[in-house]
Structure 1
């Protein structure tokens, strides 16, 4: 198993917002989350990572961030990274 960083989207420890509870049924964000988690076969992406090296984010989480950025008109990976950092350091 690869050395992935933990998915903390369902935690309530350091921030007062639980992201998994904020995604409402029927929204684009919910559909994106559902499709990436349940319908896409990302086994090729997971197989590419090995057990050695630094801890990394899981491919499913990265894909969700990139697709959400594209859906909101952000085509620059640097801008997506900057906004992601701003959101998660509130």
Structure 2
């Protein structure tokens, strides 16, 4: 009987370079470039008042990239987005392994909807 090399499909510890997971020419690559280099996120940054005290917050750029990547994949549940940030390599790479809680994601979506829409409003 023929012998084959084993195929690993379960959990495996790997050293991963997140930057190399986002391939040029893909949606994720364009999304990362757009959010990190082209969009003015100043209105998002002004909402945070934790310079001196308070817990560190998730960068709004990271949350925006997570949400837009999720929506592009048809994932709209904040719990499923949270899960993707823990389990899917593209989400881990795009978020820098941030893993925000589903309540953080839901609050960002609920409270920043107007700012997100403003980012993509071509009339401005």
Deviations 1:58-90 (A, max 9, x none): 10011101100000000111110122123458x
* Cα RMSD for the two superposed structures: 1.7
Q: Once superposed, which parts of structure 1, at least 4 consecutive aligned residues long, lie more than 6 Å away?
A: none
Gaps of 5+ in 1: 1-14
> How many residues get paired?
75
Instruction: Tell me the TM-score normalized by structure 2.
Output: 0.55
Instruction: Tell me the TM-score normalized by structure 1.
Output: 0.74
Question: Which entry has the higher C-alpha Rg, 1 or 2?
Answer: 2
The residue number in structure 1 matching 2:38 is 39
The residue number in structure 2 matching 1:49 is 48
